[in-house]
Amino acid sequence: MNLLLVGLNHTTAPVSVRERLAFSENGMAVALQRLLSGGRVSEAVIVSTCNRVEVVVVPCVPTAEAVEAVTAFLCDFHDLPSGQVRPHLYVHQSSAAVRHVMRVTASLDSMIVGEAQILGQVKRAYAIATAANTLGRHLRRLFERAFAVAKRVRTETGIGAHAISLGSVSVELARKVFDHLTNKALLLIGAGEMAELAAKCFFEAGVDTLFVANRTLAHAQHLADSFHGGGRALGLDELPLRLHEADIVVASTGAMTYHINTTMVRAALDRRRYRPLLLFDLSVPRTIAPDIAVIDGAFVFDLDDLQRVIAANQRERRREAERAEAIVEAEMVAFLTDADRLDIGPTVAALKECLTEICEAEFERHRKRLGALTPEQEAAIREFLLMGIVNKTLHPLILGLREAAKQDSELVDLRRAFALDAAPHTPEQVAARSEQAGARTYR
């Protein structure tokens, strides 16, 4: 399959280069149309995320010329000198390009292996290319297969099952303490970005009650109001009185003293009738006293605890990634095998050879009835009459093959109908196929 991928990612280019080559969604269609207008590629998709910019094309010209065309397009479109872009580019051709697209879509080439966001980003790039009418059957089949491979990787491996962000790891640990998080109350101490990310993770997991305690009450209220159903803002001085209402506490402040101490936790557990209290301290310095961990019913995790869980989950993901790589490799081989079978070029050549053999066989079989022929007459019969019959017969078949190529299974059926994958070589086999062709013709 003649495919080409030119691009760069977080491993080959710094963010200062990636940000200058990034395509906005609004400008993507224009960029795709400009790329095709040069006449050197017939199909194109651009995948542009914060970690990669990749252009996947079907070349109409020799590979080296197509690589130059895509590279020039990237530089010209973003008005960048070639010298700032070329050192960071990689090029994948044919099977390597297929493998790369499948690995990217399955999140095996991501900065965080197994993250789910990339699949949606590639699907969005595919949708934009479809709307811009820059897709043909080659890239359409490649990307649809890549989406199926990504789904298979998610289903058959645990590559996305192990949390590796602070928020998601906290949710994972909370589920081990409470089984489920429905109807649980979350108390945030601090109203910064880390608190907001943690709250999003817990709300997605089922938490539906929110308290936000902060030194500045207005900031606490702003964060509390940003979640569905709203929350309640608290002053830090209210913590001793309200701690028992929370099931989960997430602290992320820049304070130099403890906001939660053992006295407060013992009192809260007593009022909770010793239902568990889970506390996450994401602050440095810590704002939850570490000796709380010895109190029955209180579970405390600080940043080091969470990092150890993340490291263990990353090791699990790497093991699952090895299984995912095997799936991608098998799917890549299967895709290329199907592509070879569906390429009409070899089929047209095989059909022409088949028809030529039949005409030659029939000419030899009836040669005596034609009487004496001069060498010039015999050459004219072979060169013009027989080849004319072959070409006239082949023409509607080629048109049919082009249509059949759009319906993959029909092309396979045509090859089977004409026995093109078992071409005869002996005169007897040619004669037999000639007889079969006659039977097919007059039946």
Q: 395: which residues sit within 8 A by CB, 6+ positions away?
A: none
On whether 257 is known to bind a ligand per the annotation, the reply is no
On whether 156 is known to bind a ligand per the annotation, the reply is no
Q: 111: which residues sit within 8 A by CB, 6+ positions away?
A: 10, 51
Give the active site residue among 50, 201, 354, 359. Answer: 50
On whether 29 is known to bind a ligand per the annotation, the reply is no
**Residue 296, burial from CB neighbour count under 10 angstroms (0-12, 13-18, 19+):** exposed
Both tokens assigned to 241: 């009185």
What DSSP line would sit under 357-396, residue for residue?
A: HHHHHHHHHTGGGG----HHHHHHIIIIIIHHHHHHHHHH
On whether 191 is known to bind a ligand per the annotation, the reply is yes
Contact call for residues 279 and 301 (beta carbons, < 8 A):
yes
| CA neighbor of 264 nearest in space, from 284, 281, 239 | 239
Confirm whether 50 is a catalytic residue.
Answer: yes
Q: Is the peptide bond before 285 cis (omega within 30 degrees of 0)?
A: yes
On whether 298 is known to bind a ligand per the annotation, the reply is no
On whether 201 is known to bind a ligand per the annotation, the reply is no
On whether 436 is known to bind a ligand per the annotation, the reply is no
Both tokens assigned to 200: 């999003």
On whether 50 is known to bind a ligand per the annotation, the reply is yes
On whether 49 is known to bind a ligand per the annotation, the reply is yes
| CA neighbor of 20 nearest in space, from 47, 45, 48 | 48
Contact call for residues 433 and 419 (beta carbons, < 8 A):
yes
- Give dist(CA 4, CA 380) in Å, integer: 45
- For residue 377, the Cα-to-chain-centroid distance in whole angstroms is 62
SS3 43: strand
- Give dist(CA 220, CA 233) in Å, integer: 5
- Give dist(CA 350, CA 418) in Å, integer: 9
On whether 195 is known to bind a ligand per the annotation, the reply is yes
Q: Could you give the residue ranges of the DSSP H alpha helices within 112-259?
A: 117-131, 137-156, 166-178, 193-204, 217-225, 239-242
On whether 193 is known to bind a ligand per the annotation, the reply is yes
On whether 52 is known to bind a ligand per the annotation, the reply is yes
SS3 298: strand
On whether 347 is known to bind a ligand per the annotation, the reply is no
Give the full edge-to-edge strand order of the sheet including 232-235: 232-235, 209-214, 185-189, 248-251, 277-281, 298-302
- Give dist(CA 360, CA 383) in Å, integer: 11
Pairing of strands 90-93, 4-9: antiparallel
* Catalytic sites, residue numbers: 50
Q: Give the residue numbers of the binding site.
A: 49-52, 110, 115-117, 121, 190-195
Q: Give the residue numbers of the binding site for NADP(+).
A: 190-195
Q: Give the residue numbers of the binding site for substrate.
A: 49-52, 110, 115-117, 121
